[in-house]
Amino acid sequence: MGDGVIKIGQVVRSLAGRDQGRYYVVMGQEDDKLLLVDGYIRRTEFPKRKNPKHVQKTNHRIQEIAAKTKADKVLTNKEINRALSELGCLGDKDENGI
């Protein structure tokens, strides 16, 4: 696949909106929007729908989350929150966050 493709489990950074600078994990796709969660503000019960043009892809992909999502297993907010904090992607960051 191409370099610009955003996959499930990918860590992305918001470029536009009130959440600008926040990091999320891609949980899925609905129509032409990405479903994003961070396990803290945006929980798995109510993922954020965001245009792919308004996120920046990072070099991080959380394989465990991708595997669970594809297998239709339940993802907990704690798992997502822990994975993002291990990468240092929790909270607002500047341009050089990761």
Sequence ranges of the domains in the chain: 10-87
Burial category of 23 from C-beta neighbours within 10 Å (exposed 0-12, middle 13-18, buried 19 and up) = buried
CB atoms under 10 Å from CB of 87, counted, come to: 16
Backbone φ, ψ for residue 16 (5° rounding): -140, 150
The per-residue pLDDT string of the chain (98 residues; one tens digit each, 9 = 90 and over) reads 345 788 888 999 999 989 899 999 998 888 899 999 988 888 988 999 999 999 999 888 888 888 888 888 888 888 888 888 888 876 555 454 44
Q: What pLDDT score does 1 carry?
A: 33
Q: What pLDDT score does 3 carry?
A: 58
| This prediction's pTM | 0.81
Q: What pLDDT score does 62 carry?
A: 87
Return the CATH architecture of domain 10-87. Answer: Roll (2.30)
